[in-house]
Structure 1
Amino acid sequence: MAAVDVCDGDNLSALMCSDCETDEEVKWFCQECQLNFCDRCQAHHLRRKKSKSHSIVPMREAKYTQISESRRLCVVHPGMSIDYWCESCASVICIKCVPGRHKKHTWCAIDDFMGRTQKKIRDKTDEFREMWLKYRTAMSDDSRFSEYFTQCIARLNEDVNNQASILCQEVDKMKEDLLKEIAIFERKETLKKDKNQVGMKEDMTALNALITNTELELKCCDSASSLNVLSKRLSDQEGCFQCPEINRCHPPTLSIPEHFDQLKLVSLFGQLKYPSSTNLDEKVIYEVKAKYLKTKTTRKILALCVQDNGNIWVSFDGNRFLMLMDEYLGILKESCDTEFGVVSMSLYKNTDIVFTRFMDTCVQRLVSNGDRMMTIADLYPYYAKGVCVNNENRVLVCAVTSSTKTCKIVKMTGRGQILMEITNDAEREPLTLPYRIASVDGGELFVVDMATDDHRVICLDKQRDRLFSWSWRGEGVGSVDPLGIACDKNVCYVTDEINNRIYMFPKKNNTAVVLLDESTRQSGPRCITVDRKGCIWVGCNNGIILKIER
């Protein structure tokens, strides 16, 4: 026989007063009668001659010796054995309890419930055992990968040292930087591996203890209540363990250059190629020739616009004027005062510039070779964001309200006459938050849509219908945050300031490919434009302009 406390939190909420059988709170227990009472019935019980000397204690102190479950008697209906289990109340009941409080509850024979619960507990234990085996397999795989990783790091160090031995003293600093970069990468991955192993060991220990304790407790459980408590505890523990997933970053490799460029000491060593995606087979990097043109400032470049003669207008962060530079970034002149910073601009009729400014509702036009500015349209209450000019010399502007609940794309003439508006109507919903825009010769529009938690590029046809949407998810390029956009014939280019990459994809195919990634050492490619010759110009956050020739 076992000493049982029937007044735990779960049973207390399920008990009824033995006298009045109401739902009032049960607070008292008579040790002699083995009955439970509410406040009113407890006082009445003590007034009776036969029971006034009984020992009545608070329910929290009530304990009695319980015999086996099959011979227990109902505390509500004295003399009746408890043969049933109420699943709604999670308590044992007798046959007389069913028509009363448990009339509409789900109940079954107590033997059936105990059998089902025992099977459920055993199934859970088997699941935890399988999970423990997965942890053990993951740890074994992690150890083998650690050996492979160490060998790769050793080969990297050997390659760098061998390459440095044939170089002159001028490249010693680059050697030190590369070795330091490898060491940092190795330290990060080692710390990550150690942390993963510690976590997996702790989980395995906890799982092993849980399995052992559960099996021991299951052998001792001889009541439906105790089985139910054990089942609930196992269900609560289930969410604490998940199958271990090992996301490993592949070791970098050293790309040895095929030629030597005395102007770039970094090319004497090559570059460490870091994997940018978990699926490396789907990632494609095009062979391109990129020139790094350094301006005389390290300010962020907000917008670019290349003229037909090769000169380029540049907007720097914090400047209230545009800079006109030649193809070697020599300063030719400054424009008139634009009053606010220019965030997007496009060439209009080979000579003028249409542009939008930071937190401004107007679309501006720069004429007279940058000496005069004029307002062609005011989109209030919408803020003008991205702007472009199509092959018909029509101006296209992304417009959003301050609340970002409504947005549209406005098509207008160079004098500001509005021809068409594309809104985010309820039926088509092509737009969420248009930020930048570009147009191809066929009339299709490419829009950078800053949708919440899923920034994407949307392609719209002439009828304003969505052709396709490219969200980068599942494309094998990893995490992407698109910003700048430009089009050249049937190809669209997108910059990713956060991840230091430039992407491209054809007009009729929403599969992304990587044009340039972080191995080019670029710093935050922000804005992008394409000149008449097909050269790609990219403005970065550190004052560098990339000129890319494919």
Structure 2
Amino acid sequence: MNTNKVAKMAAKTPTLDFQVAIEKCELCQEEDAQFYCNDCQEEMCSGCKTAHLRSKASHSHNVVSTKLGKSIRKSRKPIKCTTHSREIIRMYCTSCDEAVCVKFVTDIKHENHKFEELETTLYRYQDEISQNISQTKQQIEELQKSLHTIDVNVKDYTEVSDKTINEINQQRKQMKSDIDKIADDLVHQVTNRKEQDLKLILKEKKDIQKILSEHNEFLQSCEEKLKSIKGFSNIQHHIKNPQSSLPSITHINPLTFVSNNTLELEDMFGQLVDSLETKLTQKMYKHEKDQKKQTKSDDSVSCTSGTTISTDIVSRINPGWCVSAVNDNEAWCDGDRNLVLIDIHGNVKRKIQLNNNVYDIAVTTKGEIFVTGSTNIKKYLQDDSCINIADTEPYETRGLCLTFSTR
């Protein structure tokens, strides 16, 4: 029976008030009573209690101390039946789930119904309620623990989030500082270069102005001599131009800035990951960074880092003098009467056999290869087929220059 039914029953049917507890055991009538059986409503001594609970008929009875039994009985007051005013409610119909007086036992309304003493029902429900109270207290304790855990999680989550925001702001500040340093350095280089170049240009301007002044003076002198026939004989030693050759002008290209648009700022700045993955992500970034450093070292074709690449190429293809880049990672070069496509590590990707030596190579964006050898220029297509472009006999073509059209 559920708690609602217990509440309903308890509200409807308070039970009788009992007499003052008997001091002697009601079973043996010899020993003092120390216990009370709620099911039998009898007081008993310790020995009779043991025998009572060993009996098959009463082994499940609810036996409590006499003090508790008296307290329970005194707390209950009798209630009269609303149908039979002179009767006191003593029974409980388990079929109807209703407390009744003894007259209802024979009433046609409760025919073939099951009855039990009200006291027995109350004690049984009391045990159920006690179990519910115990379970509810345990659940309350678990819920309180859960609330505490949530509070701790909220605190930890807030601390991690605040720390993350702080780290992002620090990264922002650091990157701004680094960018400012890089920009300041570039501006300083341009400024120094500008001062040096302008100094040179102004010096050349001053020299030219001096020469120009000398020429103007000479011109004026000549014009004056022409006006006087008398002075004609004295012009001989002035007829020579004061500056036999004009000064050359140095063409100086100023520094310009090319922004690196290929870099993704989001990748440079960082990304958000689950806090459990932070260490793993940092290890991954470190590994990628080390790989990029190694690749950058391998990809370099500068004079200081090209030894390894040159050694690989020499050992593989015995190259000549001609090299033409296809992209950042591949280049065509001549090697022992062959055109050879190699990567940055010296690996041979493709080879075209030639009938003559190669003087120079040029590669278009479409992958077409122009080759000059002695007195002719040939074009090699993607399928290695060859087209003769021009014959230059009797002249030898030693170099090729490839220009790009915007059309």
TM over 0.5: no
When the two structures are superposed, what TM-score results if normalisation uses the length of structure 1? 0.23
When the two structures are superposed, what TM-score results if normalisation uses the length of structure 2? 0.30
More strand as a share of residues: 1
Larger radius of gyration, structure 1 or 2?
2
More helix as a share of residues: 2
Higher RCO (CA < 8 A, seq sep 6+): 1
